[in-house]
Structure 1
Amino acid sequence: MAGSKDSASRLGLSLHARDGRKYDQVIALTQGNINESLQYYYDINSEALKFDVKVKGAIRAQLQGEILAPTVELIDEDNNDKALYCLTFDRGSKYITFVQEDPEDDNSRYVPQSQDASGWKLAFEVNFGLSKLTSVPENIREQINKPGDYSVSQLIVIFGTADTLTFNWERSTIKLKGNDAIADARTAFKLFVDRWLTATKMRDEPAKHNVLGYAVTTPDPTAIELAAPSFPPTSVRLQTINHRPNGDASQGSTGSDFNAFLFTEMCGNREMITSDLPWSGDFFYESIGGTLLMSKSIFFDDYISKALAPINIMGKRAANEMALRLIGDRLGPWAISDNESDADNNEFQVDGKNLRHSWDRRRSHPWQESRILTMTAHFHTEVSTHVWMLNSNSFIFRRWLKFESTIEGNVVDPIFQKYSAGTLRLSMTATCTADSIFTMSSVEATGKLDIDVENKAPVIDAQVQPNHDGPVPSALSAVGLGDLLNIGADDVKSKIRGALESTARDSAEVGNSLQEAVNNQGKFVFPGGGTFDMKDPLFTNDGDLIMGLVYRK
């Protein structure tokens, strides 16, 4: 049994390879998961488990019966991509030797001596490799269910022949007495394994018995349609890693079901790292035998920042609308900065586990309203957005806007014109804060990731202060600008609230698209079918996204 989903060991997992570079994502599958898939495959192809093999030569023997579905035991050494492939004899299996009645007489008949072989186990070393398919079988294509251009590499077991097979007799079980008997049995078993593999291969065309699964990559991420994963891997590498209970390597063992295959992946055609990922924590927890670990750089810094970036423009647009509400379109459709395109810079800056965007601009507009009224508008706009990880499975998106404006009018005496008849000043300050909390969870019924977006009620404060001196009112009435004095705080608040409601709707849409992207993310395809359920999404100490993967037949 592994630790808990939020143990210090699991949250301490790192994607940094031995050379210091960081992988984009990793899929970790326990040997237990692989064995479950093998069991499923041989449940469908049970004929391959039956045998009746006769061996003639220096010894005469016969093996009859049935073996259980093969299992894999990863060798408990880091950076050693080997394993033991194990065949265990089922109940009723027999090992029969033929012994001459009279050893001194070459012509004497051979008499069978039968032994119960139930529970006997043969363990031999195999290698693994990723082999790219030139064509993808239709049943595998259906399981991948991903549009666009992609390639598939199959994880295969590389068997030897009878001459090259290396048996691990310490991990094998042969219940015989006597060194000669055991030596004879080992010779017979080598020939048996060779013939079983040959027969299985002939029966299994195209070969699937040595395929443990399929990893999917895409050579061109931009060619993937929107319904596909938003961070498809462009290259994949295979390694094994051993399970260390509580970080203690001495407690590991070859037989641990939590020893694992790691598919280390890079996205965006970034160069593949060639050094292994060292042990840094527990990939697995409780009885969950699969994990998807996605780096902060592709999930948070890249995907989330790009998904939320368009909302950064909305505060600037709302401030501009308020400015135009005050001065109309006298100077065109854009009033709060020197250039409208300046507002389109919506990118976040990465700051550790935070994303930040800030925009601070000032602009003044003088104009001659009439022969007696000179106007000047001063605008100061600040827009700030901040995304940060709130806790282990949530992040918060805060939008903050401050809009300050001062409209000044100088009225000259309509008769003498060179003397001031008074001034008008309309000062307005509006601030608002709005939070959206994104919380990730898993849905038991569907095995999918769910992202809930809670939009908190915005906090808005608006102050409007009109004042004047001199005989301004009559002068304003004469030029038709008295409406400026009627702009109140409620009008300003309504404008801001409308803008925030729009950003709240957009935040919910971002949550939906993010949820779809992660659920469509390619993981791993087993040859016998089945899917992976997602469980317990969390952020690690490094800010990477980690999720449990549960194999469902």
Structure 2
Amino acid sequence: MSFTDSLVHNTDPNPYNQLIVQSQKMINDAFYNMWAIADTGSPLLSLDVTVSDVGELKGDLDAPSASLHVTSSTPQLYFFVTFTSGTLTLDTNKSWDVTGWKFSFPVNIGTVVLNSGDPGYDDYKTKMGITDGDFSLAQLYIDASQATELDMDRSSFGTEVWSSETDTIQQDFKDFVQGWITQMADGDKTIIGVALQTSNPSSVNSVAPTFPPTSLDETMYPWIDPSSPGQATDDLDANALCYLMMTGNVSPPSPPSLPYSGTWVNDQDNNQGVLCMNSSQFWDQWLLPLVQVVNAATEVYPTTPYLDANWDGSGAVAPELYVGYNPDHTDSSDSYFSFGASGVNTWTWTGDSQSSHNDASADLGSWWNELEAWENTNSSSSLQFDQGGQQISFTGVSTFEFTVKQSGVVSGPYKTEATFTITTNWHLNFALGVVSDGGLQIALIPDPEGTSACTSTGESQTEGIDWDIDWDTYTNYISSTINDTFSSNLGEVENDLLEALADQHKLFLPASGTFLMEDAMFNDRGDLLATLHYNGAPPPGQDAKMPAYLAKLPKRLAKRPVVPRKKPHGPFRGPLMKIPAKEAVPVGGVPPKVAGKGK
């Protein structure tokens, strides 16, 4: 199995609502960028440590780096401090040139919460580009407070064979390291990343308040080659750090843990980071409730048909109906319009089978005429996403059946019947994609010119009723009403789809620089996956450079005008369909109409 197959078919973010997964390589690239642009005098560039009565260490530093520990829970990672030059002097009156030495510290990840007004809060907020909202920032850093000594297996001492040093020197060195760790724990922190969290998510994203994280934990996730599965192994650039997030102020699991499912990231350029939004959050909590307004806007609902019967066998009929309005469920957010799961990648909605009836009659002596009419409607829809792709297909169908039966006696008995059925089909196609600002949007895919999103066709069956039919009025009314709704009244839905995910990648920062989206798709479960492109911070005084791939992407679409659907003044009734009189009617006289019959 390939990496992509494992990502699409196997990955599962449960029990968390969202994940940010970064490979070890991406983390170290951010450390390198942070080191490369550091100001002169930064503790990232040089080190000067003195431990009283033990010794001192001075020197210039290479970029910091880390190795994620995935074979057990403690420590979470190993942090490396590497010297390009310098001197270690112990009170044993011996000194060493530390050029090329690398010290490995077993450490954990600590979290400091920054609130508005705290030092650094505004700088991070500016870098994120999030201007509004009530939120705090969780700053993740290298926490050496639990370390007591170096990890000697991962440390190196240039050409020195440290194990050959005397016991006294080795003990002095341990004492020095312990003093150094204490200073490291109390001093400046090496930041791994920053994430937004809020207890008031609607203030951060009013379009999709279920999206901003309300809690943050972290865990390590091993790389296991899907083409030859084995055991978790340390010191691999494809091992990953996972931010584990809950939303909606739901309590997170304790202790934090993400079961192994599939390969989220690797060490290749386009696959080093990914944002995952759980399918239950994306579909069940947000998108399906948002688009169920389309179910309401496309339902066909029957009302009482018009009938008028005359004693001579003549009469008039007309169906009456609503399109996009159900008097029993006037609010599109009503659970009546909610989708139900129908397979792994499909949801469906089926409205109630609706029916109405009316009758009218008239007589003169032994001659009489009776008309009955029935209207029956059914409406349904289906929404489906492409597994491993970006497309969302939304289709629906409505049927309207109008049946008229006529019976009576005019110069002989008669019994006739006619049925006309209108079938309406509609479709809306959407695509998830990255746009040129580095964020996501879900856009409506326009139909080719000359293709309507909704079409209606009619079919007639008649057994003896001779009526003057204008069914095109009814077929055209249903399809044109739905097409008008799609073109004019879905602005709010389309705008929410465009904007809800626009800033999701901005809620998280690496050690330096920013994240941008690169590719997006749905896995088999329907989880939203967006690969993260690491965009390093620019040197002081220089503008940020946007990666070349963004220039090839489409721009974010402009918002549509929002025109709310209006409640209809009444049901639609087209021209009357007239039924001619029977032959051989009596001469003279005005046939009475039966009181209370007809409309």
Shorter-chain TM-score above 0.5: yes
For 1:138, the aligned partner's letter is D
Further displaced range: 427-436 or 33-42: 33-42
Aligned to 1:491: 473
Partner of 2:539: none
Q: Secondary structure at the match of 1:437?
A: strand
Of 380, 383, 406 in structure 2, the residue corresponding to residue 384 of structure 1 is 380
| Gap change, CA 1:321 and 1:289, over 3 Å in 2 | farther
- Which residue does the alignment assign to 1:427? 419
- Structure 2 equivalent of residue 364 of structure 1: 356
- Equivalent residue number for residue 261 of structure 2: 280
Is the contact made by 1:9 and 1:247 (CA closer than 8 Å) also made in structure 2?
no
Asked whether 1:237 is paired with 2:217, we answer yes
Distance 1:265 1:97, change over 3 A: closer
Measured against aligned partners, the alpha-carbon deviations of 1:5-56 in whole angstroms (never above 9, x if no partner) come to 622355311224xxxxx32222212233333333333323442222345667
Structure 2 residue aligned with 1:350: 341
Per the TM alignment, residue 528 of structure 1 is displaced from its structure 2 partner at its CA by: 5.5
For 1:10 and 1:78, how far apart are their aligned partners in 2?
A: 27
Moved more, 253-262 or 347-356: 253-262
Distance 1:221 1:170 in 2: 45
Is 1:133 the equivalent of 2:128? no
Q: Secondary structure at the match of 2:509?
A: coil
d(CA) in 1 for partners of 2:211 and 2:205? 12
Deviation at 1:434, TM superposition (A): 2.3
Partner Cα distance (1:133, 1:123) in 2: 29
Structure 2 counterpart of 1:461: 457
Mapped to 2, the partners of 1:51 and 1:83 lie a distance apart of 21
Q: Which residue of 1 aligns with 2:581?
A: none
How does the TM-score come out when normalised to structure 2?
0.71
Residues 163-222 of structure 1: per-residue CA shift (max 9 Å, x gap): x532101100113146226973784586378459748966x5xxxx33322222222445
> Gaps spanning 5+ residues in structure 2: where?
308-315, 537-599
Distance 1:32 1:339 in 2: 58
Alignment of 1:3-18 (within 5 A): 6-8=4-6, 11-16=9-14
Are the counterparts in 2 of residues 367 and 376 from structure 1 also a CA contact under 8 Å? yes
Q: Secondary structure at the match of 1:518?
A: coil
Q: Report percent identity of matched pairs.
A: 22
Residue 126 of structure 1 aligns to which amino acid in structure 2?
Answer: V
| Bigger mean CA offset, 229-238 vs 164-173 | 229-238
Aligned to 2:61: 67
1:499 is displaced (CA, Å) by 3.3
How far residue 468 of structure 1 moved from its aligned partner, in angstroms, is 5.5
> Alpha-carbon deviation of 1:320?
5.0
AA aligned opposite 1:127: N
TM superposition shift of 1:66? 0.5
Q: Residues of 1 paired with 2:426 and 2:446: CA distance?
A: 8
Is the partner of 2:295 in helix, strand or coil?
helix
Please, which moves more after superposition, 403-412 or 276-285?
A: 403-412
Unaligned runs of 5+ in 1: 17-21, 101-111, 414-418, 473-483
CA–CA distance in structure 1, aligned partners of residues 479 and 104 of structure 2 = 69
Counterpart of 2:32 in structure 1 is 39
Answer whether contact 1:147 1:225 (CA < 8 A) is retained: no
- AA aligned to 1:119 is G
RMSD: 4.0
Work out whether residues 68 and 220 of structure 2, in 8 Å CA contact, stay in contact via their aligned partners in 1.
yes
- Which of 191, 210, 230 aligns to 2:190? It is 210
- Contact 1:462–1:492 (CA under 8 A) maintained in structure 2: no
Match in the other structure for 2:395: 398
SS at match of 2:386: strand
Find out whether 1:154 has 2:139 as its counterpart.
yes
Question: Which one-letter code corresponds to 1:153 in the other structure?
Answer: A
Measure the CA separation in 1 of the matches of 2:155 and 2:306.
Answer: 83
Alignment of 1:25 with 2:18, yes or no, is yes
Structure 1 Cα separation of the partners of residues 34 and 142 of structure 2: 15
Deviation of 1:460 after TM superposition, in Å, equals 3.4
Deviation at 1:364, TM superposition (A): 2.6
2:438 pairs, out of 434, 444, 447, with 447
1:291 is displaced (CA, Å) by 1.3
CA distance in 2, matches of 1:150, 1:217: 6
Kindly provide the CA deviation profile for residues 470-504 of structure 1, in whole angstroms up to 9, marking residues without a partner as x.
Answer: xx8xxxxxxxxxxx83412x323322331342454
Pick closer, same or farther for the CA change 1:51–1:45 going to 2, 3 Å. Answer: same
Equivalent pair of 2:31/2:512 in contact (CA under 8 Å): no
Post-superposition CA distance 1:324-380 (Å, at most 9, x none): 9997798x9799988454985211112332211001323233255989976543111
Q: Is the 8 A contact 1:364 1:376 kept in 2?
A: no
1:155 CA displacement: 1.5
Give the C-alpha shift of residue 241 in structure 1: 1.9
1:165 aligns with 2:163: no
1:132–1:152: 8 Å Cα contact kept in structure 2?
yes
Q: Give the alignment's TM-score, normalised by structure 1.
A: 0.77
Rounded to whole Å, the distance in 1 between the matches of 2:228 and 2:199 is 39
Partner of residue 288 from structure 2, selected from 301, 305, 328: 305
Q: Which moved further from structure 2: 39-48 or 260-269?
A: 39-48
Aligned-partner Cα distance in 1 for 2:490–2:225:
41
In the superposition, relative to structure 1, how do residues 225 and 282 fare at CA in structure 2: closer, same or farther (>3 Å)? closer
Which amino acid in structure 2 is aligned with residue 121 of structure 1? Answer: K
1:258 paired residue among 238, 241, 253: 238
Letter in 2 for 1:382: N
Q: Give the match for residue 180 of structure 1.
A: 165
Is the 8 Å Cα contact of residues 79 and 107 (structure 2) preserved in structure 1? yes
Q: Does the 8 A contact of 2:442 with 2:498 survive in 1?
A: yes
8 Å Cα contact 1:320/1:335 also seen in 2: no
Say yes or no: does 1:191 pair with 2:176. yes
Letter in 2 for 1:499: T
